[in-house]
C-alpha cells in the first residue's frame, strides 16, 4: 500500500507570496492532519480534516488555511508569506481520527526569502 505523499518536496518563495501544498493520504485513510516543524519548536499542529470538514484547528493565524477533497486528498495554503513561515510542513493520515496511529508523508520544505 502506498504511503502518504506530499508535493512539492521543496519550495522557495518570497515574502508576501502565497503557497499551496498538497497531501495524498494512504488509501482508505480519511483523517488528514497538518503540522509545521521548525528547529526548537517541534511539531506544531495546524489543522485536521475529516470528510471534507475541518475538525480541529491549532493556534495559527488565519493566513494558514486548508481543505479536503472528497477523495481525502488535502491541501493547505499560506497567504502573505512571512520569513517565519520557513519550515518543514508535514502531513499525516490516519484511518478515522487523529487519536489513531498517524502516518507521515515526507514533508514539504518551504523557504521564504
Binding site for other proteins (CB under 8 A): 33, 35, 40-43, 45, 48, 55-56, 58, 88, 90, 97-107
CB of 45 to other proteins, least distance (A): 5
- Nearer to other proteins by Cβ, of 13 and 45: the residue is 45
In degrees and rounded to multiples of 5, residue 84 shows phi and psi of: -70, -5
CB of 51 to other proteins, least distance (A): 13
Q: What CA–CA distance (Å, rounded) separates 85 from 74?
A: 19
Taking the complex as a whole, the smallest distance from the CB of residue 18 to other proteins amounts, in Å, to: 24
Torsion of CA 81, 103, 33, 42, to 10 degrees: -50
- DSSP state, 69? -
* Closest by Cα among 105, 40, 49, 38 to 77: 49
State how far the Cα of 79 lies from the Cα of 101, in Å rounded to an integer: 30
Please, what is the minimum distance in Å from the beta carbon of residue 48 to other proteins?
6
Nearer to other proteins, 34 or 72 (CB): 34
Judged by beta carbon, residue 42 or residue 84, the one nearer other proteins is 42
Amino acid at each position: 500500500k502506498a504511503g502518504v505523499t506530499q508535493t512539492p518536496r521543496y519550495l522557495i518563495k518570497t515574502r508576501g507570496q502565497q503557497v499551496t501544498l498538497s497531501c495524498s493520504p494512504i488509501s482508505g485513510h480519511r483523517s488528514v492532519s497538518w503540522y509545521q516543524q521548525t528547529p526548537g519548536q517541534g511539531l506544531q499542529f495546524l489543522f485536521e480534516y475529516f470528510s471534507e470538514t475541518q475538525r480541529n484547528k491549532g493556534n495559527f493565524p488565519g493566513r494558514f488555511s486548508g481543505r479536503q477533497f472528497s477523495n481525502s486528498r488535502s491541501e493547505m495554503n499560506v497567504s502573505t508569506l512571512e520569513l517565519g513561515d520557513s519550515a518543514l510542513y508535514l502531513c499525516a493520515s490516519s484511518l478515522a481520527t487523529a487519536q489513531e496511529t498517524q502516518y507521515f508523508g515526507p514533508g514539504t520544505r518551504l523557504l521564504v526569502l
